[in-house]
Amino acid sequence: MEAPVTTMTSIRLDTHLADEAAEILGVKSRTEAVHLALKEIVALKKFKNLMKKSAGNLMFEAYGK
C-alpha cells in the first residue's frame, strides 16, 4: 500500500467539535481525528453505494456455519 500524500493546509475548524471527535475516536490530535473521520466517511459512502447497487443481490452466511 502506498504512503498517503499529505500537505500542510489551513482550515477553519470548530475546535470543540474536533476535540470531541478526537476523544470519541480515541486519537491524540485534531489532525488524527480529521484524518480518521475522513477515512470513515469515505468508507461509509462506498458501503452505502455498494448496498444501493447490490440491493437484494447479496447473501450473507452466519459466522461459523
pLDDT, one tens digit per residue, over 20-56 is 999 999 999 999 999 999 999 999 999 888 888 887 7
63 pLDDT more than 80:
no
Residue 29, domain member (yes or no): yes
Does 48 fall in a domain? yes
Nearest partner of 34 among 51, 15, 60, 58, judged by Cα: 15
With respect to residue 43, please indicate whether it lies within any of the assigned structural domains: yes
Within-domain flag for 61: no
**What pLDDT is recorded for position 11?**
92
Q: For residue 31, is it within any domain?
A: yes
* 3-class state of residue 49 by DSSP: helix
Q: Is 36 a member of any domain?
A: yes
Which amino acid makes up residue 34? V
pTM as predicted: 0.72
Residue 23 in domain: yes
Q: Could you tell me if 9 and 17 are in contact, meaning their C-beta atoms sit under 8 angstroms apart?
A: no
Which pLDDT does position 2 carry in this prediction? 76
* 1 — pLDDT class (breaks 50, 70, 90): low
In a domain, 37, yes or no: yes
CA distance 38 to 16: 17
